[in-house]
Structure formats: C-alpha cells, structure tokens
Homo-oligomer: A and B are copies of this chain.
Amino acid sequence: MTHSLPIIKKDFTEGLSQISRFWGFPKGMGAIFAVLYLSPTPLSLDEIVRETGLTKGAISTEIRALARMGLVHRSAKLGDRKDYYEAEADFYAAIRSILKERQNSEFDRAIRSVKDTLKTMEDHWVEEEEWNFVYERVQALQSFFDAIDNLTKAVVRLESLGFSNVTKILGVLK
C-alpha cells in the first residue's frame, strides 16, 4: 500500500519542507504548514506534534512566525481551551501578507542604510572622479530598491492578487 493517504501526506510534507528551506525558512516550518494544509479540520498543537514529530516548543515558535506571515490562522473551538490552527489556503492572500510583514523588517532597515549612504554623500560632497562614480552606483541601487518597493506596495494594495491580475501582468509582459 505505497499510495495510502498517510504516505502521500508524508511525501508532500517532505516536499514542502525542502521548498521552505530553499526560501531560507526552517524546514520544520514547511512541514508544519504542509500538515495543516492537508488537514480538513484545524489541528491542535499536540496533533501537530504527532504529525510532524517536532516538539511542542519548536512548533509553538514556528507557528507564531507562520501566523505573523498570515500563512496559518489560530482558531478556537467552543468549550475547548486548546488552540487550533489551520492553513491559509489562498496563496495569493498569503503572499500579500508576507510582503506586508516584510515592510517593517530587517530588510527595510538595510535598505534604509543605502538611502543614508546617499544622503551622507550629498551632505559632504567632494568633487572628485571616484566620488562621483560611487555616488552614481549607490544611487542606481537605491532606485532599483525603490522600484521593487513600489511593486510590492502595489501588490499589497490589491484586494486580491487573484488569477486575473497575474494574467494581466503576463499580458503586459508579452
């Protein structure tokens, strides 16, 4: 019975773990999402422990990260004080949510540092060949980041980054 549901789930979970690692997230995070994603009903922490083999502690922290990104949602059952978790099944919504999350992150701080470099140079200008060169390069990087930033903001602003929008983009890029 190499094609029973449990085995299929396990394979799928391993696949998502790898994808997770590829994007620089812990593989456990991918596994947790996979388990929730394939579950018809929300799962409790202990159920996730059982399915993934990770410990409560690890899951507790990973799941908070997932929730911050909008990839899973907490829910409660009446008369049950366990927390339950379910996966966000709309990936377009998830992407928007991840992008939104990143706005306030480490990344933005680093990007700001590029902008600061630019400002510093302008405030203490030296008329010299290499100075000029460096300035132009930093500026080019900065406007690239701006373009990216505008793109992500546009995506975040959309009510739904649905199929139709993706199609539109594909059309424009033709």
Binding site for B on A (CB under 8 A): 3, 5, 8-9, 11-12, 14-16, 18-19, 22-24, 37-38, 40, 89, 91-92, 105-107, 109-111, 113-114, 116-117, 120-121, 123-124, 126, 129-131, 133-134, 137-138, 140-141, 144, 147, 150-151, 154-155, 157-158, 163, 165-166, 168-174
Query: Are B3 and A133 interface neighbours, CB within 8 A?
Result: no
Answer whether A170 and B141 are a contact pair too, CB < 8 Å, given A8-B117, A9-B134, A12-B114. Answer: no
Copies of this protein in the assembly total 2
What 10 A-B pairs have minimum CB-CB distances, sorted nearest first? A24-B24, A15-B113, A3-B124, A18-B110, A154-B173, A91-B144, A19-B110, A168-B172, A22-B107, A40-B133
Query: Are A150 and B170 interface neighbours, CB within 8 A?
Result: yes
Please, which residues of chain B bring their CB within 8 A of the CB of A106?
18, 22
Please, which residues of chain B bring their CB within 8 A of the CB of A11?
113, 116-117, 120
